[in-house]
């Protein structure tokens, strides 16, 4: 599925589209699971369960619920609440794909369900993940799998090809109102920015230094994606202020079958 041509493409442009990574049956299963997770969010909230905090609401939506279901923006880490998404992180075609790009030893950095609800989905500002994340690695790739069709109308990804060669910088607030711009920085050259629409089941892979974001969803169609980030054991850990001085990451494959790896802080907090 990924050959030398695709490897060269992602090295050069910082992103890669992989069509039809998931079967339509698996996409359907994920969508049913998303319904269940919305119900779980309601249950946690009604019981004052602290896990409700992992289910983030769209901060600018004027309504709390639509058809009895909460207006959720993201669930993270989704593998904590869902066997379906836990299994998806190690879905063989997905792991094979990442192994071909990064090599045989893989750790999981992130597992997130990004939900851009119909009519209420907020803007995800242009940014580089590397500017925010505590793990630094030139071998850290995010995979965003479309679980619904993702279009410019429902807030698909926008990327600036080649921007993974830009230095890391501060980007400001990540979540923005629907009527705001994708960034308020005036020294960003967005002339090369493109939309990356995806059919449900297809995936966008990108380098952690690539400038990317996504538009608002003012349409009647939700945009759902499962987002996983993988990295190799060479990654280093630079905790945010007040975070623990070490973090344990799940091994996805390789590393002599160890279940997890703990990284310790490399440099003082920043
Ligand atoms: O899925 C999206 O809309 C954007 C996600 C993203 O950029 C991120 O989580 O870094």
pLDDT tens track for 116-153: 999 999 999 999 999 999 998 889 999 999 999 999 99
Q: Provide the pLDDT for residue 270.
A: 43
CA distance 52 to 75: 10
Q: Provide the pLDDT for residue 39.
A: 97
Q: Provide the pLDDT for residue 269.
A: 45
Mean pLDDT of the 10-23 span: 98
The two tokens of residue 265 are: 């802080």
Closest residue by CA, ligand 1 atom 2: 214
pLDDT tens track for 23-61: 999 999 999 999 999 999 999 999 999 999 999 999 999
Verify whether ligand 1 is closer than 6 Å to residue 212 (CB atom).
Answer: yes
Q: Provide the pLDDT for residue 117.
A: 97
Q: Taking a C-beta distance cutoff of 8 angstroms, is the pair 233, 53 a contact?
A: no
Fold of 4-238: Jelly Rolls (2.60.120)
What is the residue extent of each domain of the chain?
4-238
CA distance 226 to 112: 6
Mean pLDDT of the 215-230 span: 98
CA distance 138 to 140: 6
Counting ligand 1 atoms within 8 A of each CB, the residue from 213, 216, 222, 223 with the most, and so the one to mutate, is 213
Kindly give the distance from the C-alpha atom of residue 157 to the centroid of ligand 1, in angstroms, as a whole number: 7
CA distance 125 to 128: 10
Kindly give the distance from the C-alpha atom of residue 123 to the centroid of ligand 1, in angstroms, as a whole number: 9
Task: Supply the mean pLDDT for the chain.
Answer: 95
- Predicted confidence band of residue 267 (pLDDT cuts 50, 70, 90): low
- Residue 225 pLDDT > 60: yes
Counting ligand 1 atoms within 8 A of each CB, the residue from 77, 78, 114, 121 with the most, and so the one to mutate, is 114
Mean pLDDT of the 230-241 span: 93
CA distance 51 to 188: 38
Verify whether ligand 1 is closer than 6 Å to residue 154 (CB atom).
Answer: no
**Which ligand 1 atom is the nearest neighbour of the CA of 155?**
3
Kindly give the distance from the C-alpha atom of residue 100 to the centroid of ligand 1, in angstroms, as a whole number: 23
DSSP string of 4-58? HHHHHHHHHHSEEEETT-S-HHHHHHHHHHHHHHHHHHHHHHHTT-GGGGGEEEP
The percent of residues above 70 in pLDDT, for the chain, comes to: 98
Kindly give the distance from the C-alpha atom of residue 108 to the centroid of ligand 1, in angstroms, as a whole number: 17
Q: Provide the pLDDT for residue 242.
A: 87
Q: Provide the pLDDT for residue 248.
A: 96
Q: Closest Cα partner for 108 from 237, 225, 250?
A: 250
pLDDT tens track for 66-113: 999 999 999 999 999 999 999 999 999 999 999 999 999 999 999 999
Q: Provide the pLDDT for residue 138.
A: 87
Closest residue by CA, ligand 1 atom 7: 213
pLDDT tens track for 166-206: 999 999 999 999 999 999 998 999 999 999 999 999 999 99
Verify whether ligand 1 is closer than 6 Å to residue 74 (CB atom).
Answer: no
Kindly give the distance from the C-alpha atom of residue 174 to the centroid of ligand 1, in angstroms, as a whole number: 9
**Which ligand 1 atom is the nearest neighbour of the CA of 213?**
7
**Which ligand 1 atom is the nearest neighbour of the CA of 225?**
1
* 216-251 exposure pattern, b = at least 16 Cβ within 10 A, e = fewer: bbebebbbbbbbbbbbbbebebbbeeeeeeebebbb
Name the DSSP letter for residue 168: P
């Amino acid at each position: 599925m990924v050959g030398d041509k695709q490897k060269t493409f992602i090295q050069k442009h910082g992103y890669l589209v992989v069509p039809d990574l998931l079967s339509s049956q698996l996409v359907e299963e994920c969508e049913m699971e998303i319904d269940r997770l919305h119900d779980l969010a309601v249950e946690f909230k009604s019981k004052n369960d602290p896990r409700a905090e992992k289910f983030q609401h769209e901060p600018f939506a004027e309504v709390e619920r639509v058809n009895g279901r909460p207006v959720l923006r993201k669930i993270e880490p989704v593998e904590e609440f869902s066997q379906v998404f836990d299994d998806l992180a190690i879905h063989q075609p997905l792991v094979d794909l990442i192994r071909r790009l990064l090599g045989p030893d893989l750790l999981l950095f992130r597992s997130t369900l990004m939900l851009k609800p119909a009519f209420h989905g907020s803007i995800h500002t242009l940014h580089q993940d590397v500017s925010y994340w505590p793990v630094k690695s030139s071998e850290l790739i995010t995979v965003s799998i479309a679980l619904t069709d993702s279009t410019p109308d429902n807030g698909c990804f926008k990327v600036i090809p080649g921007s993974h060669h830009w230095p890391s910088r501060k980007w400001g607030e990540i979540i923005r109102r629907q009527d705001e711009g994708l960034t308020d920085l005036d020294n960003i050259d967005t002339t090369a920015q493109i939309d990356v629409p995806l059919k449900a089941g297809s995936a966008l892979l990108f380098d952690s230094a690539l400038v990317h974001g996504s538009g608002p969803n003012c349409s009647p169609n939700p945009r759902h994606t499962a987002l996983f980030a993988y990295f190799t054991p060479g990654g280093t850990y630079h905790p945010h202020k007040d975070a623990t001085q070490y973090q344990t990451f799940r091994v996805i494959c390789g590393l002599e079958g160890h279940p997890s790896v703990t990284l310790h802080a490399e440099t003082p907090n920043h």
